[in-house]
Amino acid sequence: MKKQFLLSSLMVLLVVFLAACSSSESSETEAEAEASTGSGNESETTDNSESKAKQVVTFWHSMGGAGQEALNAIVESYNSSQDEIQVNAEYQGTYDESLTKFNAVAGSDSAPTMIQTFEIGTKAMINSGQIAPIQEFIDADGYDMSGLEENITNYYSLDGTFYSMPFNSSTPVMYYNKDAFEAAGLDPEAAPETFEEIIEANKAIAKANPKMKGFALQAYGWLWEQLLANQGALLLNNDNGRSETPTEIGWSEEEGKSIFNWVKQMVDDETFANYGTNGDNMVAGFLAGDVAMFLQSSASSRDVIDNAPFEVGIAYLPHPEEKERQGVVIGGASLWMIDSKPEEEKKAAWEFMKFLQTPEVQAQWHVGTGYFAINPSAYGEQVVVDAYAEKPQLQVTVDQLQDTKSSFATQGALMDMLPEGRKIMETALETVYNGGDVDEAYNTAVEQFNAAIQKANAARGE
């Protein structure tokens, strides 16, 4: 009897388990979205009952880790600084996940008042018809945007109109292990600047320490875009999609292949560390002394410097020897206003956006994360001055941005298929990392990239 009872209860458990298995996968995202919007509503209502006059602003963001801590601190200080507006910051996962959720609730009551979206989502957001351009609020308020960093406003202003408010911006930089440079007899204060110099430095490092690889390039489409822009190459035609909708790729074969050939050379030299598409593994490898140099967003600089058991150097993004350095495209994200929300709520969100641009907040943000200060006067704040005195590397990221020459190439591309384009380039890079043929990988990638552009244009149905 006992055994039978055990067996039957086991069966019941199994059935429950099976049911949970089959349904969890498909409905996970929906449930998540529901849960998050549900919790959002809950907090709204409780906040309302606490102080009935407060205007609630729901703010969806994608800042995890150190960024989330810094952002929460800023939101808290804003909420306690005045008693008219209550900002509820809600973490919604990565930019991709957050956008997916937003598309599901757009136009309904569950939609947030403002949402943080990555730079390559700019065109898709404008095309979505769900957003209110920030320019409306700038004009109504007489707000002066010229105080903001020029290279950043260049990206987000289209024909002189701001659609979204820049917020967290970063650029790629090269991190290097100064101790390893010294051990290899290289000057730790003069990091290699060109592809060719890196190849040479790699050899020296490998000679001094056969266990250490010289260079790592994460297979990450964003880095590919940056390496192109640094040569002055366009990603898309029609001025990177800024004068007209792009119809094909904008870079030349020479410009595109220079990156592939550079990587190929390092792979052949066996000085290249392949971490695939995984950025965390790459940073862990760098910290463990497995690789001496890597490219990564300046937003990680705080993390890397604090966690490395050796001296970390930060340098400009490399470029091919025969090309002049053009600088970098601004990466990161901006804040979007959702059109379907009541006027009062949008005004409150606008107030919060303005608060985020003040030098004090930007200084705190810059030092806490490694993202840029959107407002350059933040660099004069005492917190920043102190941080630079302690960690002078942080300043390199700012210098690189300010040395950038403004052109269509460094303004960055606008198109709604850019996330797909990144995946295509990542696959191509991985092919070369694993010893694939450069010409074949390159040609396939270009073909797929062009097809993706055409498909995106067709899907718009214009």
| Binding flag, residue 420, another protein (CB under 8 A) | yes
Residues in the chain: 462
User: What are the backbone angles phi and psi of residue 131, rounded to the nearest 5°?
Assistant: -115, 155
Distance separating alpha carbons of residues 268 and 412, to the nearest angstrom: 32
| Binding flag, residue 406, another protein (CB under 8 A) | no
**190 or 459: CB nearest another protein:** 459
Rounded to a whole number of angstroms, the minimum distance from the CB of residue 211 to another protein is 10
| Binding flag, residue 268, another protein (CB under 8 A) | no
Distance separating alpha carbons of residues 375 and 181, to the nearest angstrom: 35
124, 201, 227, 299: which one contacts another protein (CB under 8 A)? 124
| Binding flag, residue 290, another protein (CB under 8 A) | yes
**77 or 127: CB nearest another protein:** 127
User: H-type helices in 143-236, by residue range?
Assistant: 150-156, 178-183, 195-208, 221-230
Distance (Å) of CA 1 to CA 7, 9, 10: 10, 12, 14
User: What are the backbone angles phi and psi of residue 417, rounded to the nearest 5°?
Assistant: -100, 10
| Binding flag, residue 263, another protein (CB under 8 A) | no
Distance separating alpha carbons of residues 413 and 227, to the nearest angstrom: 13
| Binding flag, residue 389, another protein (CB under 8 A) | no
**135 or 444: CB nearest another protein:** 444
- Draw the binding track, 92-121, toward another protein (x: CB under 8 A; -: no contact): ----x--xx--x--x---------------
| Binding flag, residue 225, another protein (CB under 8 A) | no
**112 or 327: CB nearest another protein:** 112
82, 127, 406, 454: which one contacts another protein (CB under 8 A)? 127
| Binding flag, residue 419, another protein (CB under 8 A) | yes
- Draw the binding track, 423-452, toward another protein (x: CB under 8 A; -: no contact): x--xx--xx-xx-x-------x---x---x
Distance separating alpha carbons of residues 456 and 413, to the nearest angstrom: 15
**39 or 434: CB nearest another protein:** 434
Residues 6+ apart with CB under 8 A from 305: 312, 391, 393, 394
12, 15, 16, 17: which one contacts another protein (CB under 8 A)? 17
| Binding flag, residue 31, another protein (CB under 8 A) | no
Rounded to a whole number of angstroms, the minimum distance from the CB of residue 103 to another protein is 5
How many CA atoms, within 13 angstroms, populate the side-chain half-sphere of residue 79? 18
Lookup result for tokens 């404008």: 126
Pairing of strands 213-216, 291-297: parallel
Lookup result for tokens 């340098």: 315
| Binding flag, residue 454, another protein (CB under 8 A) | no
| Binding flag, residue 335, another protein (CB under 8 A) | no
**17 or 310: CB nearest another protein:** 17
Rounded to a whole number of angstroms, the minimum distance from the CB of residue 270 to another protein is 12
Nearest to 355 by CA among 167, 153, 92: 167
| Binding flag, residue 276, another protein (CB under 8 A) | yes
CA triple 205-207-208, angle to 5 deg: 65
Contact range with another protein by CB under 8 A, out of 12-20, 152-160, 324-332, 350-358: 12-20
128, 358, 395, 443: which one contacts another protein (CB under 8 A)? 128
| Binding flag, residue 258, another protein (CB under 8 A) | no
Helical (H) or strand (E) element with 419: helix 418-433
**351 or 416: CB nearest another protein:** 416
Buried b / exposed e over 424-450, threshold 16 CB at 10 Å, is bbbbbbebbbeebebeebbebbbebbe
Buried b / exposed e over 387-400, threshold 16 CB at 10 Å, is beeebebbebbbeb
**273 or 308: CB nearest another protein:** 273
Task: Name the site residues for another protein (rule: CB under 8 A).
Answer: 3, 7, 10-11, 14, 17-18, 21, 25, 96, 99-100, 103, 106, 124, 127-128, 219, 273-278, 281, 284-285, 288, 290, 416-417, 419-420, 423, 426-427, 430-431, 433-434, 436, 444, 448, 452, 455, 458-461
